[in-house]
Amino acid sequence: MLRRAARSFVSSPPQILMLGFFVIILLGSCLLMLPFAHVAEKPPHVIDALFTAASATSVTGLAVVDTGTYWTTAGQVIILVMIQIGGLGFMTVATLFAIFLKRKISLREKLVLQQALNQTSMEGIVRLVRRVLLYAFVIEGVGAALFSIRFMFDMPLGTAIYRGVFHSISLFNNAGFDIMGNYRSLVDYVGDPVINIVAMLLIILGGLGFVVLADLVDWRKPHWKLSLHSKVVLTTTGLLIVGGAVFILLLEYTNEATLGSLNFGEKLLASFMQSVSPRTAGVNSIDIGSLRQATQLIIIVLMFIGTSPGSTGGGIKTTTFAVLIGSFITMLRGKEDVIFFRRRLADERVYKALTITLLSFTLVTLATMILSTTEDHHFLMLLFEVTSAFGTVGLTTGLTVQLTFAGKIIIIFLMFIGRVGVLTLTFTVGSKQEKVLHREAEGKIILG
């Protein structure tokens, strides 16, 4: 009886995804409270362990305690494992074990994988998972090697390799956790081209989405052409990164607390780093709390947009933003169809983009309103924290460590929803979609 009730409760792929991430967070928080996971004599407060586990599994990076000094090596490894599972998706990792054990993937599991990877069809889903795992491990391995070589000049070999591996996995999965200590992130390497370029490449590759990576890898095949999805993702990502970097450079150029004291090359590098990081990576090479309010607002917008579908990051996604802009331009031109690269988008795509944006905007607005009653801080500071949590970014102006118990609960909820997606939440708690057998008569209302 109980088994039948449980099956009916988690009957759909969205429900399975939400339950899976929830279980991982609970398990991770329990492990972090064990004596070997933390440096302090007393175990961390339950809410702090839960917050850290939720942040790691949702690949956010917000931290209520310093990752580099509070947790032992074992604790940091636990966090790293949760980051890897959260970034790739627990169903992708489960499929990896199934492949090793030569177990057949069931139809139900393929449906969940389709939902997790934002695919429109189950065709070739297992083959895509194999490529996802291959790309992830290769990119993380190369990133770890480059980081380790650079860190060898500043620290012992063992420490350099460990930090190289940790930061490569964290950055590729757009997690934003760092073990530099004292919440320093990459501030000590603000002018280092190797660290910054490798970090940005890892963040961008993790944020493009595995479908786009697979498309780019296939460029040597005969008659190869980029898919419409890949074209939109690459174009939108490039414009957001360059546009964000230009705005940050102009707004912070004379700010002595951020870019003002750097030479032009370092200013340019730091500007691009701060523009790439809101792709939901969460690392920073300058003090986010010292940024001017206009710059923080720009970063809030970038965090809200986030990465691309099927990637390791969050946000409303670059394609959703592109469809909204396309709809806006179409309306201004007096046209009917949204067209990208000589291809018309179905109305259903436009409606879905509007739904995702409205749901996300509503969630961020409500969370900010609630947080403004539980936390005694400036409104922009609260909005920045909420957007960072929802977009699974991890950037903070310094509010995270000052959150109240209620504030931590709100941020945990936002990180969780940001990882599973607002539509997944809607499909989980909402009723099943039914096919419409008839349409009502058309009516007209006045707009504008």
Task: For the chain, give the mean pLDDT.
Answer: 84
Place of tokens 């394609």: 319
Lowest mean pLDDT among 89-103, 186-200, 308-322: 89-103
Cα pseudo-dihedral 420, 422, 423, 429, rounded to 10:
90
**For residue 77, which amino acid is it?**
V
pLDDT value, residue 108? 63
Q: What is the mean pLDDT of residues 306-320?
A: 84
Q: What is the mean pLDDT of residues 350-371?
A: 92
Three-state SS letters, the chain:
CHHHHHHHHCCCHHHHHHHHHHHHHHHHHHHHCCHHHECCCCCCCHHHHHHHHHHHHCCCCCCCCCHHHHECHHHHHHHHHHHHHHHHCHHHHHHHHHHHCCCCCCHHHHHHHHHHCCCCCCCCHHHHHHHHHHHHHHHHHHHHHHHHHHHCCCCCHHHHHHHHHHHHHHHHCCCCCCCCCCCCCCHHHCCCHHHHHHHHHHHHHHHHCHHHHHHHHHHHCCCCCCCHHHHHHHHHHHHHHHHHHHHHHHHHCCCCCCCCCCCHHHHHHHHHHHHHHHHCCCCCCCCHHHCCHHHHHHHHHHHHHCCCCCCCCCCCCHHHHHHHHHHHHHHHCCCCCCEECCEECCHHHHHHHHHHHHHHHHHHHHHHHHHHHHCCCCHHHHHHHHHHHHCCCCCCCCCHHHCCHHHHHHHHHHHHHHHHCHHHHHHHHCCCCCCCCCCCCCCCCCCC
**For residue 137, which amino acid is it?**
F
pLDDT value, residue 6? 46
Angle between helices 228-252 and 264-276 (to 10 degrees): 130
Residue 97 has pLDDT above 60, yes or no: no
pTM, two decimals, is: 0.88
pLDDT tens, residue by residue, 148-185: 999 999 999 999 999 999 999 999 988 888 898 888 88
Burial category of 325 from C-beta neighbours within 10 Å (exposed 0-12, middle 13-18, buried 19 and up): middle
Cα pseudo-dihedral 91, 26, 36, 398, rounded to 10:
100
> For 289, how many CA atoms within 13 A lie in the half-sphere containing its CB?
11
Cβ of 238: how many Cβ atoms within 10 Å?
12
Q: What is the mean pLDDT of residues 73-77?
A: 94
What's the first-to-final CA gap in the chain, in angstroms? 55
Lowest mean pLDDT among 49-53, 121-125, 308-312, 396-400: 121-125
Q: What is the mean pLDDT of residues 101-112?
A: 62
pLDDT value, residue 8? 46
Residue 292 has pLDDT above 50, yes or no: yes
Residue 313 has pLDDT above 90, yes or no: no
CA angle in degrees (0–180, nearest 5) for 369-353-113: 100
CA distances (Å), origin 152, targets 161, 199, 303, 310, 416 = 8, 17, 33, 34, 36
